[in-house]
């Protein structure tokens, strides 16, 4: 499913397999100060926790468990979703994905995405780079935990 990460700056979209995955990604990347909408059904996911009196309780109610447990149980899906962040509008996302799908070399794709991110970003906020960084941190933590097991 396609989601729009809503901030006052650049248009950002990302993919997620469920609203819960999208919800947590938007919370992480936006620090509770950004919106998130499911493009397929125009549903606002209520990720602007800065207005909540009890954000932790609301987050746990939405996810059905703690953020830590949800992250542990869905780490691969969260990684993929965070890596899918891109400076595109919903209407431009199809073409962006089509371009990415044509690039089969992993390094070449990474270089393309970095170059696209740098050219498409108009604000000083580095939303997409931050999302990718969170994804990389998740992967590092997962690998570290697997080595310790």
Q: What is the pLDDT of residues 2-59, one digit of tens each?
A: 999 998 888 999 999 999 999 999 999 998 899 899 999 998 898 888 878 899 999 9
> What pairing do the DSSP bridges indicate for beta strands 12-15 and 43-44?
unpaired
Query: Of 70, 99, 81, whose CA–CA distance to 135 is shortest?
Result: 81
- Count of all residues that appear for the chain in the document: 149
Are 66 and 60 in contact by the 8 Å Cβ rule? The answer is yes
Residue 16, CA distances (Å) to 84, 105, 121 in order: 8, 23, 22
pLDDT mean across residues, the chain: 92
pLDDT tens-place string over residues 70-109: 999 999 999 999 999 999 999 999 999 999 999 999 999 9
**How is residue 145 written in tokens?**
């935990």
Helix (H) / strand (E) element for 73: namely: helix 67-73
Cα maximum dimension of the chain: 47
Percentage of residues of the chain with pLDDT beyond 90: 72
pTM: 0.91
**How is residue 7 written in tokens?**
């901030």
149 vs 110: CA distance, rounded Å: 31
What pLDDT, on a 0 to 100 scale, did the predictor assign at position 149?
Answer: 67
70 vs 78: CA distance, rounded Å: 10
Percentage of residues of the chain with pLDDT beyond 70: 99
């Amino acid at each position: 499913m396609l989601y729009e990460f809503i901030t006052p700056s650049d248009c950002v979209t990302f993919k997620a397999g469920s609203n819960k995955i999208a919800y947590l990604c938007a919370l992480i990347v936006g620090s509770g100060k950004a919106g998130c909408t499911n493009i397929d059904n125009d549903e606002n996911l209520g990720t602007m926790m800065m207005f909540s009196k009890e954000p932790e309780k609301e987050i746990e109610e939405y996810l059905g468990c703690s953020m830590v447990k949800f992250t542990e149980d869905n780490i691969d899906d969260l990684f993929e979703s965070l890596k899918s962040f891109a400076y595109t509008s919903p209407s431009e996302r199809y073409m962006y994905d089509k371009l990415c799908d044509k690039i089969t070399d992993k390094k070449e794709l990474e270089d393309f995405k970095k170059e696209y991110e740098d050219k498409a970003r108009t604000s000083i906020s580095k939303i997409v780079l931050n999302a990718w960084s969170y994804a990389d941190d998740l992967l590092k933590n997962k690998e570290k935990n697997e080595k310790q097991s």
